[in-house]
Amino acid sequence: MSKEPWNIGGGYFEICSCNVSCPCNFLSAPSEGSCDVAFGWEVRKGSYANVDLRGTRVVVVIQSPGHMMKGGWKAALYIDDGANEGQRKALENIFTGQAGGHMEKLVSFVTELLGVKFVPIKMSFNKNKRAVEIPDILDSEVTAVEGNDGSPVYLENLPLTFWLPRRVTQAKQERFKYKDFGMEWGWEGKHAVYSDFDWSGP
C-alpha cells in the first residue's frame, strides 16, 4: 500500500514497567534497566485515503533492552479483528510507519518486528480509568494519579513522547500482564499516562 493522505484521532494510553513517572519520557534510563511497554489507541475519527477507520483499535507492545533513545526495540503489533480487510491494511500501514507521520519516527527505534496479529481488543475509557484486554495476551487497567486538590496530575511538554499532545494525564497501573512472542511480564503500581491523540500523514 502506497503512502496516501490519512488522519486518525481518538483516545490513547500507555503502560510500562517503569516507576511513576517513567524516566524514559525524560530521556533517562528506564527504572528496571529495560522498558516493557504497551501502547493502546482507540480510533474515534479518521480515514486512510477512502477507508473509514472509525471504531477500530490498535495495540503496540515494545521491549526496549536499555535506554530507549539507543534503539534496539522489539515490537509486536495487534489490530482489532473486528476491522475489515481494508481497515486492517490501512492500520498496519500506519502503525508500522510505512504511511509516514509520528509512527514512522517511532518505529525507527525498532530493530525487530516480532509479528502482526489480528485479535479481539477490548478497551474502556471511563472517567479517570483506562483498560485494555487482548484475551490470553494482555490485561491492564490504569487510574489517574490525584493531585493535592483531588484533580488528576498532568505532565506537559515531555521530551520523548513526540507522538502525543502537549499535555497528558499521569496515571498508575492497577495491573499490567502480558504474555506473547516469548515475552512475559506482570506489574502493578507502575507508570501509565493517557490522553487524546490526533495524527495525520504522510
- Give the DSSP per-residue string, the chain: -----EEEEEEEEEEESSPSSPGGGGTS--TTSSEEEEEEEEEEEEEETTEE-TT-EEEEEEEESS-GGG--EEEEEEEETTS-HHHHHHHHHHHTTTT-SHHHHHGGGEEEEEEEEEE--EEEEETTEEEEEETTTEEEEEEEPB-TTSSBPEEES-SS-TTS-SEEEEEEEEEEEEEETTEEEEESS-EEEEEEEEEEE-
Stretch 19-35: mean pLDDT: 91
pTM to 2 decimal places: 0.93
For 164-201, the pLDDT digits (tens) are 888 999 999 999 999 999 999 999 999 999 999 999 98
Query: What are the residue boundaries of the structural domains of the chain, listed by start?
Result: 6-194
